[in-house]
Amino acid sequence: MKILTCILIAISPLLSQKVPAQISIPKDYFDPPLKIRLSITGSFAEIRANHFHSGVDFQVQKQEGMPVYAVANGFVSRIKVSPVGFGNALYIDHPNGFTSVYGHLKSYNDTIKAFVHERQYQLQRFEVDLFPATESDSILVKKGQLIGFAGNSGTSYGAHLHFELRNTKTEHVINPLLFGFDLPDNSPPTVDFIRLYPESTGSFVGRSNEPVTFKVKKINNLEYRLAEIDTLMVWGNFSIGVQASDFQNNTSDRNGWYSLKMLANDAELFSMTCDSFAFDETRYVNASMDYAANYNSGKCIVKSRKLPGNQLSFFKADTADGILNFSDNTVHAIVIIVSDLAGNSVKLKFWVKKQKPSMLLQVPVIYDADTLAEFPYSKNNVFETPEIKISIPPGSLYDDILFRYKKIPGGAGMFSDVHYIHDAEVPLQTRMKVSIKANKLPQRLRSKALLVRMDKSGKRYAVNAEYEKGFVTASTNLFDGYAIVVDTIPPTIKPLADKNKQKNSLSFRVGDNFSGISSYKGEVNGKWVLVEWDPKNHLMFYNYDKASPVGENTFSLVLEDQKGNRSSYKTTFTVPGDKN
């Protein structure tokens, strides 16, 4: 259900009744979407890959098929079926100005299922985005009505119910647990460790100009201290990072905590507040944590420093943007407070003192790069050589960088050098444009060209690209190594044995060697039929329906990848005479 399990939110109890610039939050309007004791396996605003989690994940006893109910009266405003994302998702608008969202469903109730099936055949697509309220027949639901069944569809890695509440007008997501759902919790969060960051070349933590991690220990159930030393020596500008987590009533699921504050000498240095957020700001998660630590080891460290390009609405730092610098020689107290939504809190306290390190040789940084260039975060930055063009729009960087570029000879199957664009440990908010000269690419392969991204381990990832005026061009939001490759191999289709005694479906294992499947089409007796696609399990399947008459039928499946390579499969199947 989730890969990373930390959260970047904080909320004042004074705001629990009303979200700023939003409508009042009712405490007793919505019923739970499940009729079991609610338990969280994923928290609101928890860190996920490049985004904040937009709802909560309710556990469903680790199995698909648990009934899901409408939390209030309303009408179905949207139904989205997708092989990725929320999979089978349902949206219900309620008269009080909120929309409830139910994701990763296994299936819908009979009424909704029939509506979706009819529209899929009309549109001749498995993936559909439907808005029933715009049609003549709206789908009304009542509080407590069965609307579907919890599942594992889309980009999900375990059965659960993803549940959201949104402001219908603004579509801002709001923490669902603010609406009064009963989730008993008497277990406080835990602090894993802290990290101090020198914020300039002349700044130090102890004798180090690099970030330093410090272990912590409990002195009682609600208080922490540093494990090995209580007073840290610092010099110059520094900021603070912390990794923490929460377990609801001692469950095994490591969830995100609810609020975080950092105080220096009792003055607030930093806090994060997340009553709600807009989807267009969710990628600022990458600017609010130690992205390099997350990229390298999966750590989720919230930093007090506010990067100048970080526009996240609930990131709050003091006037120094979360950076400390003490000018006197006294000892200063730092307090970090972590709380969960139930009001359980833990406190970590330590002390810092100004002390310049002695007998320390400052070693200059030597970059492994062919070219260095200063890129301001607020400007449009362009880098060009005869072999590559790079354009990074304003606001894509979170801070000014010393841009680095290097190339090495390409390997087997590559039609260019490998161009290393800056540093994969530095995040981008929006996409940059990358164009690599294709003078080594044969004309006959131009339509099959794309870029490959190579990470630090040498693993390759396809980046969809097109040949344009002598270059292969792509948009990407990741710094890394890039080169031109081609994809000339069609997708694969392997029929699977039908283990169902009723013999009422056809199943296939499908895949593509690189660029990925872009489209597919299934037909029975020459007419389009609904073939469902489950990419994470590499499966496609057709369930016999009204398009398959009694007797022998011919089935065909055609797949096409991103570069136009196609494969097909044909077979026959028999529908028994007692088919309903």
Indicate the residue among 354, 382, 413 that finishes a domain: 354
pTM (two decimals): 0.92
CB 561 within 8 A of CB 487: yes
Q: Do residues 38 and 110 both lie within one domain?
A: yes
Q: Is the pLDDT of residue 109 over 50?
A: yes
pLDDT, one tens digit per residue, over 549-562 is 999 999 999 999 99
Domain containing 456 equals 371-486
Q: How far apart are CA 507 and CA 509, in angstroms?
A: 7
Tell me what pLDDT residue 119 has: 96
Considering just the CA atoms, what is the radius of gyration of the chain in Å? 27
- Alpha-carbon gap, residue 315 to 362, rounded angstroms: 33
Which of 410, 409, 401 shows the shortest CA–CA distance to 372? 401
Cα–Cα distance between 113 and 382 in angstroms, integer? Answer: 50
Number of domains in the chain: 4
pLDDT score recorded for residue 501: 64
Q: Is residue 95 part of a domain?
A: yes
Region 292-314 average pLDDT = 94
- Give the percent of the chain with pLDDT over 90: 81
3 in a structural domain: no
pLDDT surpasses 90 at 121: yes
Residue 4 lies in a domain: no
User: Is the same domain home to 327 and 377?
Assistant: no
In the predicted structure, residue 275 carries a pLDDT above the cut 70: yes
Chain centroid, CA 142 distance in Å: 32
The band of 17, judged by pLDDT with boundaries at 50, 70 and 90, is: very low
* 35 lies in the same domain as 52: yes
Q: Is residue 366 part of a domain?
A: no
Render pLDDT for 348-383 as a digit per residue (tens, 0 to 9): 999 999 999 886 656 666 777 788 999 999 999 999
Write down the residue that tokens 């008993």 correspond to.
184
CB 106 within 8 A of CB 154: no
Encode pLDDT of 153-195 as tens digits. 999 999 999 999 999 999 999 999 999 998 888 899 999 999 9
Judgement on whether residues 482 and 500 belong to the same structural domain of the protein: no
Is 416 found in the same domain as 330?
no
Return the half-sphere exposure (C-beta side, CA atoms, 13 A cut-off) of residue 435: 16
Which residues lie across from 372 on neighbouring strands? 404
Which residues share a beta bridge with 69?
A: 146
The SS3 assignment for 57 reads strand
Look over the chain and give the mean of its residue pLDDT values, rounded to a whole number.
Answer: 92
Let me know whether 503 and 481 are in one domain: no
pLDDT band at 47 (very low <50, low <70, confident <90, very high): confident
